[in-house]
Amino acid sequence: MNLKRVVVTGIGALTPIGNTSEEFWKGLVAGVSGAAPITKFDASLFKTQFACEVKNLNVDDFIDRKEARKMDLFTQYAMITADEAIVDSGLDLEKIEKSRAGVIWGSGIGGLRTFQEEVAAFATGDGTPRFNPFFIPKMIADISAGFISIKYGFRGPNFVTVSACASATNALIDAFNYIRLGKADIFISGGSEAAVTEAGIGGFNAMKALSQRNDSPETASRPFDKDRDGFVLGEGAGALILEEYEHAVARGAKIYAELVGGGMSADANHITAPHPEGLGASEVMQAALRDANLKPKDVDYINVHGTSTPLGDVSETKAIEKVFGEHAYNMNISSTKSMTGHLLGAAGAIEAIASILAIQNGIIPPTINHFTDDEQFDPRLNLTFNKAQEREVNVALSNTFGFGGHNCSVIFKKIN
């Protein structure tokens, strides 16, 4: 069977270091940290009192206030980035076949703020079951894809993937497969998350997953550093327009990169901890390379999952060395979570965008906040510490791994 080619023709980003894809990229190259004390609630009693929040955003500038009241923040983020990506793509919505245009989105948690507020209101009330009629539709994760499809009239495949921190990459792979199998021409795909809430911070604190470096939030996310003590929770969204290559060429679209492969695997090991030897991580990268018909030596850059956790960073580098052998020391590797924090279900989307822009611009975004070498990491690995590096990037691989052992990898290639 002849598979269709799939390209990226539009991007949109809303992140803790920039509210557009252009601002996001500038923040990455400059090595900006998005971490700061939490403003969304009083975090003074929490073990972790900081996060990577979206800043200086007025939702009213993007969404009608009446419509916004029907949406949890994670859906608002999805709508804002989808719109940026659509505009960026130059799609004429009057000229495309809407039944062959779909939305596949990702979110690990969905409407956590809505759920928290509604249940708290009931629990502290007199027992009378008074709930907002929008409680359920605001909370459910799939509503983000529903709202996007309604706005643009896309009647093709429409759903949300939920695979924890791998959700957005899972969504991209699903959209990729629909297009290359000839079942659709266009997808809006990506992911959003808005989990900086009392329940989000408290829950991750309870499982000892978050950094507690309250005296220095901006340096708390430090992947591969000897003193890393957990991830920093982030929020935001990323959207990509995936399009069948001939369809894009026919309308004269600008093309950022080609999506050439995707892999999925399971650790089958533990509900939250990664496989200690990176078994699932190595298998998912190998699967993505096979899918892309590429050899390990073809990859120039890996945007790693790199969450700044003691176990996760080690297992991922073990997997990279297993898959890439000596070539592991020729590539650039970096964790952009050192700047954005961990956007959970949205992480894969903004990290895919970072990988695509690395290809476009020939610049590797850095892993910031490296202070102390850890002997667990081979010093021959180029982890792109503290400063962006110029390099021609023809092929970039992006990893995202989620609680439950869900692993996803995608590979982007410079368009020929």
Positions marked catalytic: 165
Residue 42 in tokens = 């009083």
Residue 355 belongs to a domain: yes
Q: Both 397 and 271 in a single domain?
A: yes
Among residues 200, 227, 250, which one ends one of the domains? 250
> How many folded domains does the chain comprise?
2
pLDDT at residue number 160: 98
Distance (Å, rounded) from C-alpha 399 to C-alpha 158? Answer: 24
Q: Both 210 and 319 in a single domain?
A: no
Residue 363 belongs to a domain: yes
What are the tens digits of pLDDT across the range 205-224?
A: 999 999 999 999 999 999 99
What are the tens digits of pLDDT across the range 92-137?
A: 999 999 999 999 999 999 999 999 999 999 999 988 999 999 999 9
Q: What is the mean pLDDT of residues 51-68?
A: 97
Residue 324 in tokens = 């890439």
| Cβ-based neighbour number of residue 30 at 10 Å | 15
Q: What is the mean pLDDT of residues 183-196?
A: 98
Burial annotation 263-280 (CB, 10 A radius, 16+ → b, else e):
bbbebeeeebebbeebbb
Task: Write out the residue range of the structural domain in which residue 71 sits.
Answer: 6-250
Q: Both 324 and 226 in a single domain?
A: no
Band of pLDDT at residue 402, cut at 50, 70 and 90? very high
Q: Both 242 and 275 in a single domain?
A: no
Band of pLDDT at residue 305, cut at 50, 70 and 90? very high
pLDDT at residue number 336: 98
Statement: residue 288 has pLDDT above 90: yes
| pTM (predicted TM-score) | 0.98
Among residues 189, 223, 250, which one ends one of the domains? 250
Residue 379 belongs to a domain: yes
pLDDT at residue number 346: 98
Asked if residue 350 lies in contact with residue 340, where contact means CB atoms within 8 angstroms, the answer is: yes
pLDDT at residue number 204: 98
Distance (Å, rounded) from C-alpha 78 to C-alpha 81? Answer: 5
pLDDT at residue number 399: 98
Residue 280 in tokens = 């699932």
| Cβ-based neighbour number of residue 214 at 10 Å | 15
Stretch (H or E) spanning 8:
strand 6-14
Residue 54 belongs to a domain: yes
Q: Both 31 and 151 in a single domain?
A: yes
Q: Both 327 and 391 in a single domain?
A: yes
Residue 125 belongs to a domain: yes
Q: Both 237 and 290 in a single domain?
A: no
Residue 256 belongs to a domain: no
Integer CA distances (angstroms), 388 to 216, 304, 360, 396, in order: 22, 15, 14, 16
Q: Both 163 and 295 in a single domain?
A: no
Among residues 250, 285, 302, which one ends one of the domains? 250
Q: Both 59 and 176 in a single domain?
A: yes
Distance (Å, rounded) from C-alpha 150 to C-alpha 146? Answer: 6
Band of pLDDT at residue 151, cut at 50, 70 and 90? very high
- Sole residue written with tokens 């969905």: 110
Among the residue ranges 127-131, 168-172, 365-369, the one predicted with the least confidence is 127-131
Phi/psi region, residue 349 (left: phi>0; alpha: psi -120 to 50; beta: rest), is: alpha
- For Cα atoms 394, 400, 405, give the angle at the middle one, nearest 5 degrees: 145
Q: Given the DSSP bridges, would you call strands 158-161 and 101-106 parallel, antiparallel or unpaired?
A: parallel
Residue 258 belongs to a domain: no
Asked if residue 124 lies in contact with residue 95, where contact means CB atoms within 8 angstroms, the answer is: no
Q: Both 211 and 295 in a single domain?
A: no
Band of pLDDT at residue 416, cut at 50, 70 and 90? confident
Residue 255 belongs to a domain: no
Q: Both 274 and 216 in a single domain?
A: no
Band of pLDDT at residue 1, cut at 50, 70 and 90? confident
Q: Residue 164: give its domain's CATH number.
A: 3.40.47.10
Q: Both 73 and 220 in a single domain?
A: yes
Which residues lie below 8 Å from residue 284, measured CB to CB, with a gap of 6+? 263, 264, 265, 399, 407, 408, 409
